[in-house]
Amino acid sequence: MPWPERTVCPNLDRAVDELALAERLITYDTSQPEELNRAAAFVKGWLEAREVPVGQIDRDGLPVLTCQVGASEGPRVILHGHLDVVPALSGQFDPRVEGDRLIGRGAYDMKGGLAAMLCAVRDVADQDDVSITFVCVPDEEAEDLASRSTDALLREGLEADFAITGEPTDLHIGVQAKGVLAVTVEVTGRAAHGSTPWLGDNAILKAYDAFRRMETLPFTRESSELFDRPSINLSRIHGGDAFNKVPDRCAMDVDIRYLPGQDPGEILAALREIPDLQVLSCYEHNPATVAPGHPYVRALREAVGRSIEGEALSVGRDGASDAICFLQAGIAAVEFGPVGGGHHGPDEWVSIRSLARYRQALTDFVHGLPAWLARQGGAELRAIDGGAA
């Protein structure tokens, strides 16, 4: 059975909507709660103006948006995005276009993808073969990895056969993501007067040496099929309590991204072997893994290949995302988003052409999914393919 022809929504200006919507979303400084609420109100109004009813749940003062379109039965797909961004300078919330690049905070991670996803939700709203749930959360970038809106929605009964979270993947399909080991460690020294530092033992200098030791631990030299290496980032340091005193304590927040198959317990044990270093706290966020041969992943790959007129590769992503929330709940999930670069940096950008291709790929996937599954003989899902097992 051939893949159906593309279905294009005739009531939308496809060339304008993704770019105009992405530019508007970038103008909101959604690293701040009040701006998150304003941006969510805009998204809700945008969908409702296009006859898509939207539900809103307030979670710790932040808005979680959900809507359901399409069929009431049949294959169930979640399209998942987030509105929040990491902090930036004020000028980064003034979007600008340079050639094919839309530049601004969140352009790549993930307001560009979110804009195209919103357009795709409207494009597939009137089909009656696939049930589509759109979820937009405000806390994917939050430091509290143990308490996420996506997890709460799943605990409260959100269900699906497959989930796509619109994290940046350059139009490839992210089937693996590194795990996160977020640790706070403390290094101790000996206090002395600042004028006689040789009488003390500077904990800040020792902390730097301890971090360099972390970077040379054996696990850092390992690789896997989809990843060249794990990563260790010194994200924050807190040391010293007086200008004229040799600091005797220094705490560091360290962000370790370990590979699927590596043991976080062994990594922690290696950290504890470093002299004068104590692990104060840690939080683990499991790696994300879904089988590349999962039927829904294969269906998405075929749809993407048609939309980009090339091959959609299965890739691993260095960053973590809410895809793991779905996988831990037994729902197959991938990361899939547009082309760009520089996320979390000063010149973050997304390819404008890729936004249209991304929207088209999502639309093609939804419209072609029932026929593709029928061609596979039903292709029933199993939790082991989704990663929970």
Residues 158 and 303 in one domain: yes
In this structure, the answer to whether residues 264 and 275 fall within a common structural domain is yes
* Domain co-membership, 150 together with 212: no
Q: Is residue 250 domain-resident?
A: yes
Report how many domains make up the chain.
Answer: 2
Q: Is residue 6 part of a domain?
A: no
Domain CATH number, residue 109? 3.40.630.10
Chain segment 188-203, per-residue pLDDT in tens: 999 999 999 999 999 9
Q: Which of 250, 265, 285 is the last residue of a domain?
A: 285
Q: What's the pLDDT at 78? A: 98
260: in domain: yes
Domain with 191, as residue range(s), is 179-285
pTM of the model: 0.85
Same domain, 322 and 237: no
Give residue 376's pLDDT: 77
Q: Is 8 inside a domain boundary? A: no
Question: Of 285, 316, 351, which residue sits at a domain end?
Answer: 285
Question: What CATH code is carried by the domain that includes residue 233?
Answer: 3.30.70.360
The verdict on 47 and 105 lying in the same domain is yes
User: Do residue 216 and residue 86 come from a single domain?
Assistant: no
Q: pLDDT by residue (tens digit) across 210-268? A: 999 999 999 999 999 889 999 999 999 999 999 999 999 999 999 999 999 999 999 99
Neighbouring-strand partners of residue 340: 350
Are residues 223 and 336 both part of a single domain?
A: no
- With contact defined as beta carbons under 8 Å apart, do 181 and 235 qualify? no
Is 230 contained in some domain?
A: yes
2 belongs to a structural domain: no
Edge-to-edge strands, sheet with 340-341: 96-98, 101-103, 349-351, 340-341
Q: Within its chain, how far is the Cα of 119 from the centroid?
A: 20
**Of 259, 285, 311, which one is at a domain's C-terminal end?**
285
Write down the pLDDT at residue 312: 75
Same domain, 296 and 336: yes
Both 253 and 264 in one domain: the answer is: yes
pLDDT by 10s per residue, the chain, length 389: 344 444 444 343 444 489 999 999 999 999 999 999 999 999 999 999 999 999 999 988 899 999 999 999 899 999 999 999 999 988 999 999 999 999 999 999 999 999 999 999 999 999 999 999 999 999 988 777 667 899 999 999 999 999 999 999 999 999 988 999 999 999 999 999 999 999 999 999 999 999 999 999 999 999 998 899 999 999 999 999 999 999 999 999 999 999 999 999 999 999 999 988 999 999 888 888 889 889 999 999 999 988 776 677 777 777 778 888 999 899 999 999 999 998 888 899 999 999 999 999 999 999 999 988 888 765 444 433 443 32
Q: Are residues 43 and 150 in the same domain?
A: yes
Q: Is residue 3 one of the residues assigned to a domain?
A: no
Confidence (pLDDT) at 309: 67
Residue 32 shares a structural domain with residue 80: yes
* Cβ contact 372:299 at 8 Å: yes
Question: Are residue 22 and residue 158 in the same domain, yes or no?
Answer: yes
The answer to whether position 147 is within a domain reads: yes
pLDDT for 338: 95
